[in-house]
């Protein structure tokens, strides 16, 4: 018997990072999808939110998206699934979203429903015990294997869940699922796999939907798309009136954020997209066939870890003087020397980002010879205390004004300041962990729970 196709509505590629566009969302809702889903996490935002256990977006933006999705899902009577809650998927972010769902249920007098949720934080003790047993925690992307020193530098760790906790919570009867940190595509793949569709297509469905309208053209973020899975194909359709899912836009999306557009690794295997075939199905829809999911012989899960480096301040300097621009490296070295004179060589960090030269790409910038008529230098000072960070940054910024350059007969003034003061910034964190660890069970790090909301 041929399975009935399932339709998945995704309004947002990073829930909470910017509010969803409701016009295309409700156009999609009116087509009566079988699931409403979104990913809420990303490591694009850097290690700060994970290390400090915060969200990077205003709470109201997150509440906005959850409210629209919840009301639509309960009106249609279909499951709503959110993965990597609150940017990072830490336990506190999962709790935050569960509480928001409960508050929204009360606010709108929704009939009682079940909320399933799972955690994904990993304790340092857990990894230390693994290391004591001689297990290797492997580094990814050229990182060395995890050391005790790396572990000690870490404040918080999350593991990237696979489809398993989502399937378990659906089996438990959850109407709404709030997930901890998860691989993006598994949020969508899980209900499709549970319904009996091939893993090859289910994981691809997740891959193409994870960023919502990023797989459509022309560009328009936060617009809704709908993915349909059958036993033979995946179809993806743009809901915004001006957008289309084309062969180019869908195939091109595979390259987004990726060094290799063909492979997607998740807990339990790898999605191979090298033999995918893309066809224009209708004006707004692209059809995809040919993905292959390759199961792995062991359970290896990816870990993300973040550790605090120090407190941070920021200074901003502008330069218009051609001679100072020509000698910008000497100006910066002068300012660095004044910081060393005050604090020595260690115990702080001082970073200069020269916008107009290589402020975005740093040493990777291929254009080495610049002709900018003005530069903006952003100075970051990082130190153990706020007071020291402020002073490091102030010296490192202000002393650019007094740089002693050869052939200059005047006193100072080659640099102007946007503000006289330096500005407090969020503490500085660094990625301490981009590793994989072997599990005995795919649910080992992802405990599941069920609660209720509504009346």
Query: Quick one: DSSP state of residue 244?
Result: B
pLDDT tier at 265, thresholds 50, 70, 90: very high
Tokens 């100075």 correspond to: 379
The partner residues of 238 in beta bridges, in order of sequence, read 225
Instruction: Label residue 413 by pLDDT band (50, 70, 90).
Output: confident
Which residues contact residue 54 at a Cβ distance below 8 angstroms, ignoring those fewer than 6 apart?
Answer: 48
Answer yes or no: is pLDDT of 410 > 90: no
pLDDT at position 412 over 80: no
Say if CB 178 and CB 117 are below 8 A apart.
yes
CA 10 remoteness from chain centre: 17
Pick from 64, 56, 113, 112: which is nearest to 84 by CA?
Answer: 56
Least confident interval from 14-23, 136-145, 351-360: 14-23
Q: How many degrees, rounded to 5, is the angle at CA 32 between CA 31 and CA 37? A: 105
167-176 burial by CB neighbour count: b if 16+ within 10 A, else e? bbbbeeebbb
* Interval 393-418 mean pLDDT: 88
Specify the residue for token string 């033979």: 232
Confidence of residue 388 (pLDDT cuts 50, 70, 90): very high
Alpha helices (runs of H) in 45-185, residue ranges in sequence order: 48-52, 59-76, 91-107, 124-132, 148-152, 164-171
How many C-beta neighbours within 10 Å does residue 430 have?
A: 15
pLDDT score recorded for residue 23: 96
**Nearest alpha carbon to residue 31 among 70, 78, 68:** 78
For 275-299, what is the mean pLDDT?
Answer: 97
**C-alpha span between 166 and 80 (Å, rounded):** 11
- pLDDT value for 230: 97
Structure tokens at 259: 């060094």
Does pLDDT of 238 surpass 80? yes
Q: How are beta strands 80-87 and 35-41 bridged, if at all?
A: parallel
Nearest Cα neighbor of 437 from 247, 301, 291 is 301
């Amino acid at each position: 018997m041929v399975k009935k196709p399932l339709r998945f509505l995704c309004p947002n590629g990073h829930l909470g990072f910017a509010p969803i566009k409701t016009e295309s969302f409700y156009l999609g809702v009116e087509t009566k999808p079988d699931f409403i889903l979104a990913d809420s996490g990303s490591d694009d935002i850097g290690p700060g939110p994970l290390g400090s256990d915060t969200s990077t977006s205003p709470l109201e933006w997150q509440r906005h998206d959850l409210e629209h999705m919840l009301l639509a899902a309960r009106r249609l009577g279909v499951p709503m699934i959110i993965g990597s809650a609150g940017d990072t998927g830490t336990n506190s972010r999962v709790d935050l979203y569960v509480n928001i769902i409960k508050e929204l249920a009360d606010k709108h007098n929704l009939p009682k429903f079940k909320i399933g949720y799972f955690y994904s934080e990993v304790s340092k003790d857990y990894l230390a015990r693994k290391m004591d047993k001689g297990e290797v925690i492997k580094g990814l992307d050229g990182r060395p294997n995890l050391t005790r020193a790396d572990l000690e530098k870490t404040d918080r760790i999350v593991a990237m869940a696979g489809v398993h906790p989502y399937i378990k919570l659906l089996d438990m009867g959850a109407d709404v699922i709030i997930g901890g940190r998860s691989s993006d595509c598994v949020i969508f793949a899980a209900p499709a796999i549970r319904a009996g569709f091939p893993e090859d297509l289910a994981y691809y469905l997740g891959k193409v939907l994870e960023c919502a309208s990023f797989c459509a053209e022309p560009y328009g973020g936060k617009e809704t798309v709908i993915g349909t899975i059958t036993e033979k194909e995946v179809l993806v359709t743009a809901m915004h009136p001006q957008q289309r899912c084309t062969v180019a836009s869908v195939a091109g999306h595979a390259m987004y954020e990726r060094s290799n557009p063909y492979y997607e690794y998740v807990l339990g295997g790898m999605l191979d997209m090298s033999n995918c075939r893309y066809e224009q199905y209708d004006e707004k829809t692209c059809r995809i066939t040919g993905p292959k999911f390759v199961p792995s012989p062991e359970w290896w899960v990816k870990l993300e870890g973040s550790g605090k480096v120090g407190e941070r301040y920021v200074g901003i300097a502008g330069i218009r003087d051609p001679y100072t621009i020509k000698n910008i490296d000497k100006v910066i070295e002068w300012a660095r020397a004044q910081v060393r004179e005050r604090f020595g060589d260690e115990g702080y960090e001082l970073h200069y980002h020269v916008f107009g030269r290589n402020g975005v790409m740093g040493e990777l910038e291929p254009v080495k010879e610049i002709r900018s008529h003005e530069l903006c230098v952003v100075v970051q000072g990082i130190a153990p205390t706020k007071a020291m960070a402020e002073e490091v940054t102030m010296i490192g910024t202000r002393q650019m004004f007094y740089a002693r350059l050869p052939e200059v007969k005047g006193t100072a003034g080659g640099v102007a300041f946007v503000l006289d003061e330096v500005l407090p910034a969020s503490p500085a964190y660094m990625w301490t962990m981009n590793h994989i660890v072997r599990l005995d069970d795919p649910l080992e790090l992802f405990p599941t729970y069920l609660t209720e909301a509504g009346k």
